[in-house]
Structure 1
């Protein structure tokens, strides 16, 4: 897996010694609810997820350069409509950031790094991203990083005690990304 750097972050493979940091942010009930997963109830659950992340070529740890702590994750996940195989030219962006670091511009910074990787090194044609309609923070980050709204989808209950949720989907094509980069370079 590649190792990517932005101004304040290192995007790298997860490692066994990331367990404490992963568990710290993954046990936050607010993050799980916003991302569609139950908060981790113990280290064993975090260890199981960490093992999946270590084996994956889709998920990067977000390490803060200043402290060398993992403060979140970001991934480019293979996506496939039900009953088909994933297209090599498309991926779906997923991200989570420890609540202690919200509002500092870290996630847009990480996303711009992963977009460059996806379009320039994986040669993707399209990157998708979704958020629950109630997740205003993710919506702002998604729009700030150049994604365009495509559609909404009603999802059934995620957990037994939940109501159905609306998920909003956005996409960014390589053409739009290149135009966005050219505009930034010329300003």
Structure 2
């Protein structure tokens, strides 16, 4: 799979993405927004890259102008908390290098992957969630046409952290066709 927008290429990961991926994974702000600890070693990022290389669910977001990996986006075969998994449903995930925030890049990438999901994967619905304190993700989600579904409290990934509210949104095929 390879998708192109005006500024981006969305493609499977390759071995050469390691340095840029490690740069992303070291950022404590991104980890806090997504629920994982920042990477302290290149080996941690190598393990994630190995997982991404085997996956057909997570893709690299590449800036066309310099061919740099600036983020990740995925359509995962899992159901959000509190729902039952279905074959024609996916959960969207995304992450963007902090130096590219505020430029409309993530809505551009999200629109491309959602279009791919509905038109090529023949999905009936796409879910996406964010932690309540992550207004940046909320703006992307709402800007790209997702509708609020529910909110729930869930434990953080690490036991010493307080629970967090997670807010879930959904877009159906019918919603997508109306846009």
- The structure 1 segments of at least 4 consecutive aligned residues displaced by more than 4 Å after TM superposition are none
Matches within 5 A, 1:140-159: 140-159=139-158
Matches within 5 A, 1:35-184: 35-80=34-79, 86-180=85-179
User: Over residues 101-142 of structure 1, what are the superposed CA-to-partner deviations in whole Å (9 max), with x where a residue is unaligned?
Assistant: 000000000000001100000000000000000000000000
CA contact 1:147–1:172 (8 Å) conserved in 2:
yes
Alpha-carbon shift at residue 144 of structure 1 (Å): 0.2
List runs of 5+ in structure 1 lacking aligned partners.
181-187
Counterparts of 1:148 and 1:80, CA distance in 2: 16
Counterparts of 1:158 and 1:61, CA distance in 2: 24
User: Over residues 21-70 of structure 1, what are the superposed CA-to-partner deviations in whole Å (9 max), with x where a residue is unaligned?
Assistant: 00001100000000111111110000000000010000010000001000
TM-score by length of 1: 0.92
Aligned position for 1:28: 27
User: Over residues 73-109 of structure 1, what are the superposed CA-to-partner deviations in whole Å (9 max), with x where a residue is unaligned?
Assistant: 0000011478x98421100000000000000000000
The number of residues matched between the two structures is 178
Counterparts of 2:84 and 2:150, CA distance in 1: 22
List runs of 5+ in structure 2 lacking aligned partners.
none
Alpha-carbon shift at residue 5 of structure 1 (Å): 0.5
CA contact 1:158–1:164 (8 Å) conserved in 2:
no
Q: Secondary structure at the match of 1:110?
A: helix
CA RMSD of aligned residues (A): 1.4
Aligned position for 1:185: none
CA contact 2:35–2:156 (8 Å) conserved in 1:
no
Q: Secondary structure at the match of 2:59?
A: strand
CA contact 2:7–2:64 (8 Å) conserved in 1:
yes
Counterparts of 1:93 and 1:55, CA distance in 2: 18
